[in-house]
Amino acid sequence: MKTQTFVLICDLRDDEEAIQAYVECHKAVAPEIIQSIRVSGILQMSIYRWRHRLSMILVGDENFTFEKKAALDNANEKVQDWEAFLGQYQTNLPGTPDNWRWQLMDKIFEFKA
């Protein structure tokens, strides 16, 4: 199976309480949210944190697109509620539009043995 890998970044509010709340809510993600990730074509998703900066590694199947994911998310009330809830902890990255959370990064180097 052919896959696609993406890396995204997001900033949390630079507030220890908000950071810990965000971390805690990811320890028990609702099954409906996991299912929404799965049906969009995402095969693997990991989020890493350094201070208030988050990095997400997303591996999608060959048919995955962010447009497809956005359409599915917009039609799912549970996902909308989850995103609104998380939004209280997140902030805009410098230079991004208002209410812009996760930013796709450009790959500039790759090594394969």
3 state SS for the chain: CCEEEEEEEEEECCCHHHHHHHHHHCCCCCHHHHHHHHHCCEEEEEEEEECCEEEEEEEEECCCCHHHHHHHHHCCHHHHHHHHHHHCCEECCCCCCCCCCCEECCCCCCCCC
pLDDT tens digits, one per residue of 47-65: 999 999 999 999 999 999 9
The string of pLDDT tens digits covering residues 63-89 is: 999 999 999 999 999 999 999 999 999
| pLDDT score at 108 | 98
